[in-house]
Structure 1
């Protein structure tokens, strides 16, 4: 029974505070845990790759998701100044969601093992 309509720009910059207002702190912590899981998987993919380019690309994608999440959540909680960066997969915006899904697609491509490509004859 929260009032997220009282939060200014709740659909863009303050989406995390609107989620916590409407669904509670456990939903906010759950969202943070999902972002941590995404970054963890990206770093795990990076460490498991033998190809240096794929390894660096996966690491950089994971770090970019982590930085975006830290800036938006830190800005909402007044830890750091709020900027115009969107929260990946949550904030309203067509180009942001498109870029996030493209990044996930590239991350999934980097997770393909080089050995399995050689076995299947694609290398």
Structure 2
């Protein structure tokens, strides 16, 4: 599939080729050079090929039958971000429970209660301090 820029370039090139063919035919008919039949035939061919190229690619442009390279790059970036790491929104319920259990264990231990519900005695080393 072609890009949008390439299609527009083909529309312009086809239009220019048709313009040159039309100019060649009109000049051949006005001036009547020695081989004006050859000029006329070539001019008509240019006109037909150029008009066909222009109209065919213009039709593609109007129907959006082209690929957008920037859109493809954005979609690829989006897909790679999804594959990289799960976000905080996608953390499972089990993982949240594990995190909350670990947090509660650390807070209980800091209060002097271990995970079994028994009080812990915290010994302070006062050997280095003098009151």
TM-score strictly above 0.5: no
What's the TM-score once normalised by structure 1's chain length? 0.36
Bigger Cα Rg:
2
- TM-score normalised by the chain length of structure 2: 0.34
